[in-house]
Chain A
Amino acid sequence: MDFKINGKVMSANVEGEMPLLWALRDELNLKGTKYGCGIAQCGACTVHLNGEPVRSCSLPCSAVGTAEITTIEGLAQGGVLNKVQQAWIDLQVPQCGYCQSGMIMAAVKLLKDKPKPSDADIDAAMTNICRCSTYVRVRQAIHHAAKMA
Chain B
Amino acid sequence: MKRRDFLKTSSALSAGLVVGFHLPAANAQPAGATAGAAEINAWIHIHPDDTVVLKVARSEMGQGSSTALPQLIAEELGCAWDNVRIDEAMLSEHIRRNRLYVSTATGGSRAIRESQSYLRQAGATARVMLTRAAAAEMGVPEAECEVSNGVVHHGGTGQKRRFGDVAVAASKLTPPKEVPLKDPKTWTLIGQSLPRFDIPNKVNGTPQYGIDVQVPGMLHAAIVQSPVFGGKVKTLDDAAAKASRGVTQIVNGLEWVAVVGDNWWRCNQAVKKLNIVWDEGANGKVDSAEIRAYLKAGVATPTKVGRNDGDFDAAFKGAAKTFEAEYYVPYLDHTPMEPMNCTALVNGDKVTVWVPTQSAEASAATAAAAASVPLANIEVFRQQLGGGFGRRGGFQDFTRQAVTIAKAVPGRPVKLLWSREEDIQHGHYRPATVAKVRGAVDASGKLVGIHGTVAVQSILERVRPEALVGGLDPQGVTSFADSYYDIPNTKAEWFHAKRHVPVGFWRSVSHSQNPMFRECFIDEVCAAVKQDPYQYRRAMLVNMKGKESVRDLGILDATAKAAKWAEAMPANWFKGIAVQDAYGSHAAAVVYLEKMANGALKIRRCVIGVDPGYVANEGAAKAQIEGCMVYALTAALWGEITIKEGRVQQSNFHDYRMMKLSETPECVAVLAPTGGFWGGMGEPPMAPLVPAICNAVFAATGKPVRELPLSKMGLVWA
Contacts of A18 in B (CB 8 A): 263, 265-266
Total interface residues on A, CB under 8 Å, equals 58
Question: CB distance B211 to A34 under 8 Å?
Answer: yes
Whether A138 contacts B385 in the complex (CB less than 8 A), given A29-B214, A96-B61, A133-B630, comes out as no
30 contacts between A and B (CB under 8 A): A19-B265, A29-B214, A31-B208, A35-B211, A36-B338, A39-B653, A42-B337, A72-B204, A73-B206, A85-B203, A88-B202, A89-B200, A92-B619, A95-B63, A96-B384, A96-B386, A97-B62, A97-B207, A98-B384, A98-B386, A99-B337, A122-B661, A123-B661, A128-B660, A128-B661, A132-B387, A132-B627, A134-B626, A136-B626, A136-B667
Q: For the complex, what is the distance from the CA of A71 to the CA of B206, rounded to whole Å?
A: 12
Interface residues as binary, B653-667 with A (CB distance below 8 Å gives 1, 0 otherwise): 110001111101001
Total interface residues on B, CB under 8 Å, equals 62
Contacts of B630 in A (CB 8 A): 133, 135
Beyond the given pairs A39-B653, A95-B62, A130-B337, 9 more chain A to chain B contacts, judged by CB atoms under 8 angstroms and listed by A's residue number, are A36-B337, A36-B420, A37-B420, A92-B620, A96-B385, A98-B337, A98-B386, A131-B387, A135-B661
- Select which of A21, A22, A98 is within 8 A of B338 by beta carbon: A98
Q: Tell me, rounded to whole Å, the shortest Cβ–Cβ distance linking A8 to chain B.
A: 16
Instruction: Say whether chain A's binding surface is mostly helix, strand, loop, or mixed.
Output: loop
Instruction: Say whether chain B's binding surface is mostly helix, strand, loop, or mixed.
Output: loop
Question: CB distance B664 to A135 under 8 Å?
Answer: yes
Q: For the complex, what is the distance from the CA of A44 to the CA of B212, rounded to whole Å?
A: 14
Contacts of B652 in A (CB 8 A): 37-39, 41
Would you list which residues of chain A between 10 and 41 have a CB under 8 Å from chain B?
Answer: 15, 18-19, 21-22, 25-27, 29, 31-39, 41
Question: CB distance B653 to A42 under 8 Å?
Answer: yes
Q: For the complex, what is the distance from the CA of A76 to the CA of B205, rounded to whole Å?
A: 11
Of listed B214, B263, B661, residue having the most chain A CB within 10 A: B661
- Nearest to B194 among chain A residues (CB) is A92
Q: For the complex, what is the distance from the CA of A132 to the CA of B709, rounded to whole Å?
A: 20
Contacts of B211 in A (CB 8 A): 31, 34-35
- Select which of B198, B220, B662 is within 8 A of A126 by beta carbon: B662
Question: CB distance B220 to A26 under 8 Å?
Answer: yes
Q: How many A-B residue pairs have CB under 8 A?
A: 179
Q: For the complex, what is the distance from the CA of A141 to the CA of B205, rounded to whole Å?
A: 18
* Residue A139 CB within 8 A of the other chain: yes
8 shortest A-B CB distances, which residue pairs? A32-B205, A98-B386, A133-B630, A96-B62, A95-B62, A97-B202, A123-B662, A72-B205
* Residue B602 CB within 8 A of the other chain: no
Of listed B200, B201, B664, residue having the most chain A CB within 10 A: B664
Question: CB distance B664 to A131 under 8 Å?
Answer: no
- Nearest to A44 among chain B residues (CB) is B337
Contacts of B200 in A (CB 8 A): 89
Q: Tell me, rounded to whole Å, the shortest Cβ–Cβ distance linking A66 to chain B.
A: 23
Question: CB distance A89 to B203 under 8 Å?
Answer: yes
* Residue A124 CB within 8 A of the other chain: yes
